[in-house]
Amino acid sequence: MRVRKIPLPLPNTGLMHRKRNTYYMRVVLCAALIVFILMQLNVFSFTDSREMSMLNEPTNDSIDAMLSMVPSVLHKFLTPKSRNQTAAAHMQQNSTTSGRYNSSSYTDYYHPPNISEIKQQIAKYNELQIVLNEDTYGPLQNDSVIIVVQVHTRITYLRHLIVSLAQAKDISKTLLIFSHDYYDDDINDLVQTIDFCKVIQIFYPYSIQTHPNEFPGVDPNDCPRDMKKDQAIARKCNNALYPDLYGHYREAKFTQTKHHWWWKANRVFDQLDVTRYHTGLVLFLEEDHYVAEDFLYLLEMMQSSTGSLCPQCDILSLGTYLKTFNYYTYNSKVEVMPWISSKHNMGFAFNRSTWSNIRKCAQHFCFYDDYNWDWSLHYVSQQCLQKKLHAMIVKGPRVFHIGECGVHHKKKNCESNQVIAKVQQVLRIARKSKQLFPRSLSLTAASLVKKTKLRKGNGGWGDRRDHQLCMNMTKSINES
């Protein structure tokens, strides 16, 4: 006989109800998460596309547009005012008060110094070592950054570099050293109007300007660059026995840059009274560079992070030669790799410890047949140092190259403001989107560097006189 089973209701424990609630909550949370991610992606896309569209807008490189991006108090650094213009204004003012005006007299009011006078001025500057604004900002501290700017003749670019430096956070704590290989009163006047930090000028004393008809300038008896060695020997011209590795003889305009870089490094680290015992960072810039307002802030952050991010790093690099900059992704990213002269030679810093190791390799630097100081330094790293130079490099650059023309590159319009305006625009966008002054740094995987054989030098440095001059610069005051 089959027993009929009577279904009994189970006690209501709320389990099914809780399961349904949990299920609904998970669905809601998943939906909210998806919506949040989509919103973030949309914001990123919008921000990125907006920045890209702003960057791709036609750049207004007019003087008025560029001045509008600079605080009015700094316009004085961008306003050209030559000695002759000053003299003309002075003469015109005198004529107004006296009632007499000679239209030809003011042109003779200012006479550029001759070579003898220039040599005297250079010797005076280098001997006195006057630090401007020291009474305002106090003596140099050991943890202060020293900024060394190598200057030639391009005053237009120098003006914009000075304006960018003036806007940098903590610039008042630095010592700004201008190292000149050309004596120019207009450039000197510009440098001496700087009032936002301590300033000192040093002058390379073996320039082409001060030695136009003798070594290290162009001696009348120098061998022409493309003369064959047997012809040079027959002619008995200077250094006939020692052309460079490509069979060419020296060109003074190219050799000067390497000499100047080596001289200023020795001068700053070992000879200047104000810097010879300084153990902090020395940052190397050039007249056609432009800095972001947080470059010192980031440099200090990189220095304090070397222990955790890169204990083996000797050099901190703030510049890049990239044409586009993705600050949204890389504003706080750094990478580490062996120092490469062609990539990391702009806006880089090192301290006295690194310099001491480099200085011990003076012969490798001074005898290497390459007229480029950065390639010579790369050779030192590869062939002389016990440990090759390693660099920490910012992915979002804080030092930019604005020069359209230089020793190696000539264009029809060397005074173009287009690059300067573009850099100003990039930094304005980065500032508005709060991509400057990161709170921390993070290390990103460096792109793989192919192991390549050390390439031959670029030549231009076969002259024995250049070798000897370079080595003589390595002697400090106490050794000479």
| Residue at token pair 């991006």 | 69
Q: Does residue 295 belong to any structural domain of this protein?
A: yes
Q: Does residue 21 belong to any structural domain of this protein?
A: no
Report the candidate in 90, 120, 118, 117 with the shortest Cα–Cα distance to residue 105: 90
| Residue at token pair 């870089």 | 261
What pLDDT, on a 0 to 100 scale, did the predictor assign at position 479?
54
- In terms of Cβ atoms closer than 10 Å to its own Cβ (0-12, 13-18, 19+), residue 390 is middle
Cα–Cα dist 395/322, whole Å: 10
Binding site residue list for substrate? 150-154, 181, 256-260
Q: Does residue 430 belong to any structural domain of this protein?
A: yes
Tally of domains in the chain: 1
Q: Are 427 and 399 a contacting pair, CB within 8 Å?
A: no
Q: Are 399 and 290 a contacting pair, CB within 8 Å?
A: yes
Cα–Cα dist 429/213, whole Å: 50
Q: Which segments in the chain show pLDDT lower than 70?
A: 1-62, 82-110, 322-325, 404-416, 446-454, 476-480
pTM of the model: 0.82
pLDDT of 198-253, one tens digit each?
A: 999 999 999 999 999 999 999 999 999 999 999 999 999 999 999 999 999 999 99
Q: Does residue 403 belong to any structural domain of this protein?
A: yes
Q: Does residue 229 belong to any structural domain of this protein?
A: no
**86-110: string of b/e by CB count within 10 Å (b at 16+)?**
ebeeebeeeeeeeeeeeeeebeeee
- In terms of Cβ atoms closer than 10 Å to its own Cβ (0-12, 13-18, 19+), residue 399 is buried
Q: What is the CATH number of the domain that holds 320?
A: 3.90.550.10
What pLDDT, on a 0 to 100 scale, did the predictor assign at position 40?
45
Residue 71's alpha-carbon distances to 67, 75, 192, 454, in angstroms, are: 8, 7, 20, 47
Report the candidate in 323, 317, 264, 265 with the shortest Cα–Cα distance to residue 295: 317
Q: Does residue 140 belong to any structural domain of this protein?
A: yes
What pLDDT, on a 0 to 100 scale, did the predictor assign at position 197?
98
What pLDDT, on a 0 to 100 scale, did the predictor assign at position 316?
97
pLDDT of 162-190, one tens digit each?
A: 999 999 999 999 999 999 999 999 999 99
Asked if residue 216 has a cis previous peptide bond (ω within 30° of 0), the answer is: yes
Binding site residue list for Mn(2+)? 288, 401
pLDDT of 44-63, one tens digit each?
A: 333 444 444 444 555 556 67
Tokens of 167: 């806007």
Q: Which residues are CB-contacts of 163 (< 8 A; sequence separation ≥ 6)?
A: 70, 74, 77, 78
Q: Does residue 59 belong to any structural domain of this protein?
A: no
Binding site residue list? 150-154, 181, 256-260, 288, 401
Domain that holds residue 454: 113-216+250-473
**Angle made by CA atoms 79, 400, 347, in degrees to the nearest 5:** 110
**Angle made by CA atoms 55, 56, 58, in degrees to the nearest 5:** 105
Q: Does residue 34 belong to any structural domain of this protein?
A: no
